[in-house]
Amino acid sequence: MINNPYIEKVKVHPKIFVDKDLISGYKGRWKDYFCNNNNIILEIGTGLGNFFSSEVRDNQNHNFIGMEIRYKRLYKTAEKTIGNTKNNDNSQIKVFGKEDRKVDNFVLLKEYGEKIKDIFGENEISKTYIFFPDPWDKKERQSKNRLLQKSFLNDLYQITKKGGKLIFKTDNIGYFDFVLSQLLGTSWKIVIKSNDYEKDNLYKQDKITEFEQIFRGQDIKINYLELKK
């Protein structure tokens, strides 16, 4: 068995929740964790935290919850957000400096995105970001493993406030079309749909993930979807 050095680091990190009972215990009352009534923004799949840390810094009047399943990504995201680590030299994403170390408006959860209905109450989330989830496109039958199934979209709709949004990006046109098909019969309203959101002037250079940096370096077009409750 390969020893993962990040397991213990994650377990003792004050900004990362691992215990499932602790996580589910805040369902419907995440405002109690943050000790305020500010809007809660969710990112499912934080990766290494470039986008998440940037959003937390730039929107300190909002609360942020990040969901990720991999230990290394959780730890890197947490440390990057509180300013204890830096992005790669080529990154366009800013990070907190020493003067910004007191960051209280975020928490990270080690949990699968499919579990949102067990973690959040109705109308608890203001906005959700889902960027470049696994497309599960190696084999035809793998599409059943995709996160954005109709059942998930309905669950997300329930936990989202009226007027709240889902922002979705993918480099995989097959997954993008799949999500559009799954939206049929749901209550979500499409606000923006684009197969090349940079061309459509929706792109912000300082608001991208590490995966998007790679895709852009390869001139891969990014599909963008914005939904509203």
Active site residue 58: no
Tell me which residue of 138, 132, 179 sits closest to 156, measured CA to CA.
179
Whether 18 and 74 have beta carbons less than 8 Å apart is answered as: no
Given the residues 19, 134, 200, 206, select the one marked as catalytic.
134
CA 59, 100, 66 angle in degrees (round to 5)? 50
CA 145, 48, 123 angle in degrees (round to 5)? 60
Tell me which residue of 147, 123, 124, 122 sits closest to 136, measured CA to CA.
147
CA 201, 65, 131 angle in degrees (round to 5)? 35
Looking at residue 41, the DSSP 8-state letter turns out to be E
d(C-alpha 111, C-alpha 121), whole Å: 16
Residues with Cβ within 8 Å of residue 134, at least 6 apart in sequence = 145, 146, 147
* Catalytic center residues: 134
